[in-house]
A and B are shown apart, each in its own frame.
Chain A
Amino acid sequence: MDNILSVLVFFPAIAGLLGFVVDKESARTYGITVAAIELFLSLWLWFSFDSANAGMQFVEMIPLIPDFGVSYYIGVDGISLFIIIMAALMTLIGMMSMSITKNIKNMIITLLFLEMTMIGVFVALDAIIFYLFWELSLVPMLYIIGAWGGPLRVYASIKFFLYTFAGSLIMLVGMLFMAYVYHNLTGVWSFAITDWYALVLPVDYQLWLFAAFFFGFAIKVPMFPFHTWLPYAHGQAPTIGSVILAAVLLKMGTYGFVRFSLPMFPDASVMMITPIAVISIIMIIYTAMVAYAQKDIKQVIAYSSVSHMGIIMLGIFAMNAEGISGSVFQMLSHGIVSGALFMLVGVIYDRRHTKLMSEFGGLASVMPKYAVIFGIMLMAAVGLPLTIGFVGEFLVLLGFYQVSPIMTILAGTSIIIGAIYMLAVYKKSFFGPVTNEANKTLKDLDAKETWSLVPLVLIVIWLGIYPKPVLEPIDNSVKAMLVFMDEKAITKEAKDMIKVAKSSQGGV
């Protein structure tokens, strides 16, 4: 099956279109079936993926506008493979756990379209196709927040849309300029990312282009100080929206840095290490503190997402295989863990219709299963060894240590302050006596919730103990990218900074 990627991208969308004729009662089953087939397809992709090959695989290319070098050009490598699988997985699990009954059919169709755009972003190898899916992904999310959200949903969804859209437009300008530069230097038009990779740009061009792409990606990540749309979006979005947003949509930003900024502008990236590291450290520490001050569980997790994304950003700019591989792995880990945490918050919200910690207390006594799963996810979130959260965080900090020990120590405080706010949430909600009458009769997880959460728990532990099947393809692609970046870099600083694996030497 050569065009499995196209199938992966368009199957959910076609199924979504067909979904309009599906009966309202069976819409949910239909959606779960489609998402399950999609997940199966993505797992098949993994199965047929050649781990030893670091380059792009399953490449498809159909010229769309030959005069301007725009083509339908998709492919997958170790970096994007697992994010695709995670997108498929989280869509399926999100649908399974969904408690929404209002307009369920619209929700299912929206989710299927969202799945198409998410997978499209991660397979796109043509900047225009990438941009197309990137922007399209906003629309279903806007609809999900705006139609099923909380009381402030209109404000939140518009803020989300306009904020990210403004960033993407700057990115689009960057893309067009990049294509223009490509045309000037080579005489042909091309929007293919792989063609752009080959281009060696002067440093000032690199800096401008880096800045343009930076805005698009940074707002999506979201990096401090562009993060304020996120708490609103999460706070107002329905559970499924938060799950997808945290698990997959945020990853688009960090993925963009790995796919575009690093290999295309190696010199600029190296020059920007310090500013970005500083922003990332602010993200890590500052948002962790803000998370600690929150009263609403969901807001805590929303802010903690920002904090964790800071770790991911830091790893990307470590410029060595340990850091970048760890970062990509951390994207998966954060996707699964924060997705699960949002689902867990959704569970209690369905029961109590409140997310305020002051309303809870002593939940561990009434909902032991829930407490156990929450506890496991919490430990994964604070990066406990043998859970998925540790591998990425450890590698990122390890990798960045080579760049700057002091900044690593500052960033490493995340393991302390992360524990502070997470344990505070756990203590306030789960420990202590059951004081609130309304909590005394709460039901523990039902079958539907259990079956959607248990797979995530298994993944969290499995990838914590044996991350190799995932880490190896990622690492191969990252190493190849670093070799490529090192060859391409023109300034001496960049050449020094970019550490190709198997050449370990370095100071404290």
Chain B
Amino acid sequence: MIGLSHYLIVSALIFSIGLMGVLRRRNLLMLFFATEVMLNAVNIAFAAISHYYNDLTGQMFAFFIIAIAASEVAVGLGILIVLYKKHGTLDLDDLASMKG
């Protein structure tokens, strides 16, 4: 039988893939994709827990995560476009104006 652990493990693996993406990507757009992956990984975990504990709270959290992801993408992409307009690139290595 598929148990909670299976889902959680899948979720963990997907999360790690997302993390890896976040770490190795230099392109901001690709970074966004990687974060989406991570968010989805978490959603799986929530849904699974919700299911196995027979509790709706997990699903509620997943909803809000989706809502937040949507807003993040909307604002984030807007910023990306402005950045691209300004610098002509989305490569992080070229966008190091915050050097301390």
Question: Do the two chains touch directly in the complex (Cβ atoms below 8 Å apart)?
Answer: no
